[in-house]
Each structure stands twice: as structure tokens, then as C-alpha cells.
Amino acid sequence: MPRSDGTTWDGVGLPPAAQDRLTRAADSQAAGSLLSVPDASALATVGFTPVGEVMGCIVEQVAWRGYGCGYGWTDSRTVASGNGNRWAGLAPYVQAVYHGWETALRRLLMEATALGADGVVGIQLTQKHLDLQNREFVALGTAVRGVAVGPRAKVPFTTDLNGTDVSKLLHAGWLPTGIAVGISAGVRHDDYRTRNQASWWNGSNTEITGYTDLVSTIRHDARTQFERRARAHGGEAVLVSSMGLHVWENEPSDNHTDHYAEASFIGTAATAFHRGATAPTSSLTVLPLNRTKENRR
């Protein structure tokens, strides 16, 4: 898309449309928000006010490179977490998906920083297939700013928790630090035993051990990557918001099939801002309980 000076965007920084949206937001007297009334009210009790809607997106070509014979790979060696088995061809695919989510979240943070935000809450992560290879990754949320005066974090926090849950987390003495995404993919050759267990002529309720092994291994690896990335955000705990699993079949040659699986974990890393037995926050900021004449009226 051409800029106002006739040049085209080179992919560095924010897209021109995003820059224009930030300019309009700076000139506007009203801050946009995707928060519900209960969420906005809950955040107000802990000193956060919305400063605008923020979004990060990227349309990326995710060229699948996992097809090919999976013969001989019938255990966890098929796993790819971004730098996995090169013979399976899954590592470039996983890296591409990570790049999509990381770019969308990075651009969302750039918008939030430009608005002077301390964090982004209620982030919605969506992925849409535009065609066979091209996908759109979108991160959409509400930037918020604290009313407290003093030093502020250099990088706003991000969370997919809604405003009410963020308020509860803060009252309990915990602060969200960032969204973590864990992804893994794998392939398993359909050997004789697997084909026999999965065949229609088997005629019995039988566990397909090969498929169980595939999905269990992939889920475990995705969870491991998820926890590792949560720690990279400085998280002492992680709140899982979604777990996804996609399994599909491929026939690389006649009478020969492989099964692929992709697992994902998404959630919020959090860290405690107190070390005492109880949180330093108080419900008095939500509902006054002291028995004064003014409160009894």
C-alpha cells in the first residue's frame, strides 16, 4: 500500500494504516476500548484505565514442508518445536507459525507503547487461512494505563485474561507479564500394527496405540515449549487459556499413509509482586467496609 509520499511499506515498523490509526487516536478525545462494562469497572478498581484499542497483524506464506515419507519415524523423534528433525521437514513450518504469532504480538505492543500504555488486556489471538498457503495472524486487545505516578515498565505487559480476571489477579498479589505460545508438530508412519488397529475390518473397540503415542508426544512437547516461553517472560506461574490439537492424514505414495499432528498451548505468564503470606492489596478499594456515619447513610 503506498504511503502519502508515494513510497511503499517495507515491512519495518508498523503498517501505514496502523500509523494512521494511532494518529487519529492521539487527536481524539475518546479512548477506544474492547472491554465490557464489568471488565472496565474491575480494572478501574486496581487503577487502570483504557487508552485505546491496539492490534497487530501479519499475512504470511506458510509453505508446508512436512510432506514426504515418514517411514522409520514411529516415536517421539518426529517432534519439531522450531528446530526439530530436519528429515521430517516440520521445523520450518513450526518456525513460520511462531513467526506469525510473535510478529502480531510485537506490532500490538508497538501500538500500545505509542499510546503510553502499561499493558494490554483481553487479547484475542486469531488465525485465518486466506488460501492454501497464506495465513493471517491477528492479535487484538485493549491498551490500559495505570493512574499511579512513578517509574513505569519499559515494555507493556500482555495478557489474554479479561479485565475482571486481571483485577482478581492483582488483588491476589500477582501481575501478568506476557502471553506465551507453545507449538509442536510431528509425523508418524502408519505401520502394519497401526493400520490393523485402525482398520474397519477390525470390528472391535481398540486403542490405536500409534496415534495415542503421536498426540501424547506432541502435546507434551508443546506444553514444554509453552512453559519455557512463559519463563522467558519472567513468569513464576502460567495460566493456560487454550489448548489446541489438529490431526490429519497424508498419502505420500500409493498404499502408504502418514499421520501428522500439531498441538498448541496459549496462556498468560504471571509473577508475584509480594513475598508475604498474604497479598498487600485490600478489598477496601472495591467496597468500603468501615462503619462510619457516611457509609451508613
Block residue for cell numbers 487484538? 140
User: Please, are residues 105 and 158 in contact by the beta-carbon 8 Å criterion?
Assistant: yes
Tell me the domains of the chain and their CATH numbers. 30-274 (3.30.110.70)
**Is pLDDT larger for residue 281 or for residue 53?**
53
Give the pLDDT confidence of 192-241 residue by residue, as tens digits: 777 777 776 666 788 878 888 888 989 999 999 999 999 999 889 999 99
Q: What is the mean pLDDT of the chain?
A: 80
**DSSP-assigned letters across all residues of 163-217:** HHHHHHHHHTTEEEEEEEEEEEEEEEE--HHHHHHH-GGG-S----HHHHHHHHH
**Is pLDDT larger for residue 163 or for residue 250?**
163
**Is pLDDT larger for residue 18 or for residue 213?**
213
Q: How much is the pLDDT for 85?
A: 47
Q: How much is the pLDDT for 72?
A: 41
Q: How much is the pLDDT for 286?
A: 42
Q: Mean pLDDT highest for which of 55-69, 71-85, 281-295? A: 55-69
Q: How much is the pLDDT for 250?
A: 78
Q: How much is the pLDDT for 93?
A: 84
Q: How much is the pLDDT for 77?
A: 39
User: Please, are residues 65 and 189 in contact by the beta-carbon 8 Å criterion?
Assistant: no
Strands 134-146 and 119-129, bridge-based pairing: antiparallel
**Is pLDDT larger for residue 45 or for residue 2?**
45
Q: How much is the pLDDT for 293?
A: 55
Block residue for cell numbers 505509542? 114
Q: How much is the pLDDT for 253?
A: 66
User: Please, are residues 163 and 121 in contact by the beta-carbon 8 Å criterion?
Assistant: yes
Q: How many CA atoms lie within 13 A of 3 on its CB side?
A: 11
How far is the C-alpha of 64 from the C-alpha of 81, rounded, in Å? Answer: 15
CA nearest to 140, candidates 173, 191, 101: 101
Low-confidence winner among 1-10, 22-31, 240-249 (lowest mean pLDDT): 1-10
State the amino acid at position 128 in one-letter form: K
Query: How long, in residues, is the chain?
Result: 297
How far is the C-alpha of 60 from the C-alpha of 217, rounded, in Å? Answer: 28
- Is pLDDT of 287 > 80? no
CA nearest to 136, candidates 79, 59, 75, 188: 59
User: Please, are residues 235 and 180 in contact by the beta-carbon 8 Å criterion?
Assistant: yes
147 burial level (CB within 10 Å; 0-12, 13-18, 19+): exposed
Type and span of the H or E element at 69: none
Beta-bridge partner residues of 241: none
- Whole-model pTM? 0.79
